[in-house]
Structure 1
C-alpha cells in the first residue's frame, strides 16, 4: 500500500504530534505500507504567528496537488488541520478521493487561550474540516465522546504508542550528572511551554525537592523570569530525554486540554509515576484496576497526587505503559485507512 501522510506538524518541530507521527511512520515502514510524508519543510513556509517553533506552509495547494497526483497513493491520511491539511482536503474532494483524518490536538482550546476565539467557533471550523473524512481517528474514548457531542461524525477510536526500547524501565530513579546537587525528589514536566499546557499549575506547586522543565515555547522567557529556581533544560535529544524521565521521581502533567498526552506514557515506560488531574487524557492513559489508578495518581490536588506518587511501585508504571506497544497501535491505524478509489465522501 502506498500511503500519503499529510501533516503540518513535523521535524524540526518538537511536540507530541510530531513524535507520534514519526514513530508511526517508522513502524509502518517495517510492514507492507510505503509511506510518503508531506510536511511544511517541503514548501515555502513561515513561522506560525504567536507560536514560535512551528513553521506553516504558505499557499501550498498547487505544489501539494502536484505531489499527490504524481504519487497516486492508495490511501491518504490528513493528520492535521493546518494549511497543508486544508490543501490536501481540497484536492481529495476535487479528485473524488476518499481520505482519513485525525484529531490530535484541541486547537479550539488553544485558540481560546491565545486569541480568545470562542470555543463554538473553533469547533465549528474543525467540524467543517473533518466532515468529508471517511474516518476521523481519535486517541481516546473521552475525546471521541466530546467530539460526538459537538456533532462530529465518522469517529474512529485509535490510540498512540510508546517506544518501550528507548524509554526503558529503571527500578530506581536514575542518577544524572546534570542534576547533581539538586535536592530530591525531582518533579518533572516535559512539553511545550505554551498556553494550553497549564504549566503554571505545575510551577506554582509547593513541593519539596526540585522542579524540572524540558521543553520550549512561547511562554518560556516570561516563565523563566518568574520561576528562577526551576531547572530549565530546554529541548533534549530523545536519548537524553529518556534519561531525564528515568531520573525523575514523579512526572507532573498539569494540562486539562489534552487529547492524549504521550509524555505520560514515556514517563511510565521508564518507571516514573504520573501526577495529573482526573480529566480526558490522564483518565485514559493511566490504567484502573480494582478501583486503583495504575501508573500514577489522579487528583484535583496536584501536590497531593505528587506526594502519593512517591510511594508507588515503578514496576506498575512500566506495566501500564506496556499496554501501549506500537504493533497494536499500527494495526488499528491501518484498519481505519480507506482506499482513495472508494465512493467519494460528501461534504465540503
Structure 2
C-alpha cells in the first residue's frame, strides 16, 4: 500500500495531541527518532533536525537520538573510503533511561546502524508503534568506495539490517518513488512517500533579491565521488567570467583543491554551519547539484527557499516532485556542467526573476505540506 498525498490540515498545535485510553486524558504526541547520522553533516542528519523544529512548533514532543562526536562512552569507526564519515556506537544505558522518561508514542528509525537498531529494540520493549525511513541506497555507494571483499561484507550487513527494520515497520518512509521497489523487496508492508522540511534560517531570514543574471555559482555538499564535483571545477576552468564557490568537506577535498589551484574564480569554503551556508547562498545566483546518485537533493530545496534556482542532475529524486519543477533547472544525462551552465546563462532576466519567485513559493509550500503529512502519518500509526 502506497500513500503519498499530504493532507491539507490546519497548522494548529491541536494536531500534536493524542488521547491515551488508560488515562482518558490528552497529552502531546511524542515521537522518538533514532539516527546514526551526525547532526547536520549530511542530508539525513539535517532533515530530522529541521523536522523536529517544525513538529515542536505544532505541539509535538519530538526527540532525536543520535551520535555526537564530543560524547564519551562510544566507539568511533571511520567508514571505508571516507574517513570524514564515522559510525558511532550509542551509550545504551543513558539512552534507555532517556527513552523511558520520554515515554514516546511512536519510534522512527532513520538509519540501519546501531542507533536505528536500538530504536527498534526500545520500541518492542516499551510497546511503541515502530516506523522506519529509507534515505540512501548504501549498496550503490559501496561500489564507489569499497573493494569487492569490503563491499560484500558491507552489503550483507546493510541488506540484513534494512530488512529487519522494514519487516518490523508499520510503514517505511521514502523520499522518492524510485526507492519503493527496494524497500518492498526488503520486506516493507506499506510505504509512504514523504516531502522534505526546511531549516528555519532558510525560511525566516529576509532574502536578498536575485540579480536576474548568472555571475556566481554555488556547489554545496559532500566532496565525494557520487557528487561529480570535479565537473564543477572543469566548468570553472571553461567559464572564467563566472565565480564558483564550493562548500563542504569529504574524501576528495584535497584532490579538488589541487585541480583548482590555478583558478582565481574558484573558492573552497569547507564545511559551513546552516546560517553560514544560507548567507553564502544569498550571494550566489544559482546552485548546481550534478550528482550521479542523489536520493532527493535537500540542498537544492534550501537554495529554492532563498529564491535561488537550482540546476540539478536529471536523476535526482527532487525532480519527482511536480510542485518543485518551476524552481528547478535540469542538467540532462548527456550534458556536462559547463554545457548546462552555458544553456541557462542565456535565459532572459525576466525568466530568472520568475524562476526565483517560483522557487521560493514552491519550497515554502512543500515545507508546510511535509510537516502536516508527518503529523498525519504518525497519528495514523499510533498503537
- 1:155 & 1:320 partners in 2: Cα distance? 28
Q: What aligned pairs does 1:287-302 form with structure 2 within 5 A after superposition?
A: 294-300=327-333, 301=335, 302=337
Q: Give the superposition deviation at 1:160.
A: 0.2
Give the secondary structure class of the aligned counterpart of 2:374.
helix
Q: CA RMSD in A?
A: 3.0
Q: Which of the pair is proportionally richer in helix?
A: 2
2:60 aligns with 33
Give unmatched runs, 5+ long, in structure 1: 175-183, 343-348
Q: Give the superposition deviation at 1:258.
A: 1.5
| Displacement over 6 Å in runs of 4+ | none
Q: Give the superposition deviation at 1:231.
A: 1.0
Q: Give the superposition deviation at 1:267.
A: 1.6
2:24 aligns with none
Q: Give the superposition deviation at 1:146.
A: 5.0
In structure 1, which of residues 291, 304, 327 is the aligned counterpart of residue 368 of structure 2?
327
2:209 aligns with 170
1:3 aligns with 31
Relative distance call for 1:57 and 1:123 in structure 2 (3 A) is closer
Is the counterpart of residue 67 in structure 1 residue 108 in structure 2?
no
- 1:92 & 1:217 partners in 2: Cα distance? 34
What TM-score comes out, normalization by structure 2 length?
A: 0.75
Q: What aligned pairs does 1:141-290 form with structure 2 within 5 A after superposition?
A: 141-145=177-181, 147-148=183-184, 152-162=188-198, 163-166=202-205, 168=207, 170-172=209-211, 185-205=215-235, 207-208=238-239, 209-228=242-261, 229=263, 230-284=266-320
Give unmatched runs, 5+ long, in structure 2: 1-28
Which has the higher Rg, Structure 1 or Structure 2? 2
- 1:318 & 1:271 partners in 2: Cα distance? 6
Q: Structure 1, residues 15-69: CA drift from partner, whole Å, max 9, x if none? A: 2222221111111111120112212136633444144444543254444333322
- 2:310 & 2:299 partners in 1: Cα distance? 10
Q: Structure 1, residues 73-122: CA drift from partner, whole Å, max 9, x if none? A: 11212222221111211232344432111122232222221114269747
Relative distance call for 1:57 and 1:120 in structure 2 (3 A) is closer
- 1:141 & 1:113 partners in 2: Cα distance? 23
- 1:341 & 1:252 partners in 2: Cα distance? 40
2:354 aligns with 315
- 1:204 & 1:220 partners in 2: Cα distance? 15
- 2:359 & 2:141 partners in 1: Cα distance? 29
- 1:194 & 1:141 partners in 2: Cα distance? 24
Relative distance call for 1:287 and 1:74 in structure 2 (3 A) is closer
- 1:298 & 1:79 partners in 2: Cα distance? 30
Q: Structure 1, residues 135-179: CA drift from partner, whole Å, max 9, x if none? A: 1111122333554466644211101023433473523169xxxxx
Q: What aligned pairs does 1:48-87 form with structure 2 within 5 A after superposition?
A: 48-50=77-79, 51-58=82-89, 60-87=91-118
Q: Structure 1, residues 198-219: CA drift from partner, whole Å, max 9, x if none? A: 3223223353123220111222
Answer with 276-285 or 165-174: which moved more: 165-174
Asked whether the 8 Å contact 1:170–1:270 carries over to 2, the reply is no
2:74 aligns with 45
